[in-house]
Structure 1
Amino acid sequence: MSHLSLYSQWMTLFFMTVSGATLGVVYDSYRVVAHQLRFPRWSLPLFDVVYWLAATWFVFQMLVKGNQGELRFYIFLGLAIGAYAYYLLLSKATVSIATWIVQAAKAVVTFLLRTLYVVIIVPIKTLGLFLLAIARFVLRIAIFLGKLVLKCTQPLWWLVRWLFAPLVVPLWNRWGMTERVVRWWTGLLRRIQAVSDGYKRVKNQWRVLLNKIWKWIRPTK
């Protein structure tokens, strides 16, 4: 029985030593990720709390496997030995490896985003600019033709206005058409302005989002 008890104690010490080293690996990796991905400062205390809760649960699980969850002095000794040995032997290597992994992942994400931009965004943007140029060209032609038609038919309009003005003007004034036209035109201008403002807001928000993504994925010096 004493041999089994001694074996159990040594196994518990071993598990606690491994736990201390594991917690060191996880903590260094977490710090590297937080630094490389530029976590907001206000979020770091929250992640620290999550880390320590997870660490407590992990140590308890290891303790249950070692000696059914009984607390002994050598448990804390094993944790301290594992953490200190990790700090002396593996901490720098872990930080370097974690940094390389995060930077490699960021490089892959950057490549995918740039590929997406070149393959999808650029053609859509080019097509949109091309269609916009065509629309502007057609609009200018339509305006030119409209002005030309109005210029050519201006004498006819003068004749029609001279003939029908005595009949149309009283009805126009009675129905308040001037105010209606002004209200309609003002509303149309407001809608156009609202659409323009909405487009500018969406464009600015998209630009801000792209800048945030770029700041998030760019390499950290």
Structure 2
Amino acid sequence: MSVTTQLATMLAMIGMGSWLGAALDTYNRFLQRQNRKHWVVFINDVLFWIVQGLIIFYVLLLVNEGELRFYIFLAILCGYAAYQSLFRMIYLRVLEWVISLAVRLYRFFIRLCYYLIVRPVQLLLQTLLMLSLFIWNVFLFVLRILYQCVKILFAPVRWIGFMVWRRIPQNWKETLKNFFRYLAGIIRPVKNMIVKWVLKWRK
């Protein structure tokens, strides 16, 4: 391995040591160990270190074709120590700022979707409901007026019919009553059949 390759390897591994420190702080920030079960923490730790090992080996493979030397581990340790002493506090502040910005952007997007999509749909549905209720109330009001008008218009007819009915002989009255009972007996089964068909169709 040439001196240039060794120097590039040293710089790359110092950088990977700093990357490892930043990745570890980011991982701990999002994992929140105190709120997780032990087996969940264990599985996440194993996966984290496997991924970090693969990333470091991939960088090493790009720099010196994957040759392992003792100074590589020293370079990683130096990079991690440099991160801890020089960059850790700055990175944590930047990380918290990025997380806070992402949360605010998420909340802004949710509110934007609410006021642009959800709220207009709610207002439209409320308007349609109120309009439907208004039309229904107007329809009922018109029906009541028509009913009262029909009652007033047919009051003389009803009175005349009552007077005529009183003058009909008793035997004719019985005949008419029997006729109406006969009609009711015919209409009732038809009505029951229609009701059963409607209920069956609704199911």
Taking structure 2 as the reference length, the TM-score comes to: 0.65
Residue 139 of structure 2, aligned match among 121, 138, 142: 142
TM-fit CA distance, 1:100: 0.6
Equivalent position of 2:113 in the other structure: 116
Residue 171 of structure 1, aligned match among 167, 170, 186: 186
TM-fit CA distance, 1:31: 4.1
Deviation string for 1:167-191 (max 9, x for gaps)? 542233334x337527846986xx8
Where do 5+ consecutive residues of structure 2 fail to align? 162-176
Where do 5+ consecutive residues of structure 1 fail to align? 192-221
Deviation string for 1:28-54 (max 9, x for gaps)? 23444566xxxx957766665554333
Equivalent position of 1:13 in the other structure: 10
CA gap of 1:170–1:46, structure 2 versus 1, over 3 A, is farther
TM-fit CA distance, 1:21: 0.7
> Aligned partner of 2:111: which letter?
R
Higher Cα radius of gyration: 2
Taking structure 1 as the reference length, the TM-score comes to: 0.61
Q: Is the aligned partner of 1:76 residue 2:78?
A: no
Give the Cα–Cα distance (whole angstroms) in 2 for the partners of residues 186 and 46 of structure 1.
Answer: 58
Alpha carbons 1:33, 1:102 under 8 Å: kept: no
CA gap of 1:124–1:65, structure 2 versus 1, over 3 A, is closer
Give the Cα–Cα distance (whole angstroms) in 2 for the partners of residues 96 and 163 of structure 1.
Answer: 98
Identity of paired residues, percent? 25
Alpha carbons 1:20, 1:82 under 8 Å: kept: yes
Give the Cα–Cα distance (whole angstroms) in 1 for the partners of residues 93 and 87 of structure 2.
Answer: 10
Would you say how many aligned residue pairs link Structure 1 and Structure 2?
Answer: 178
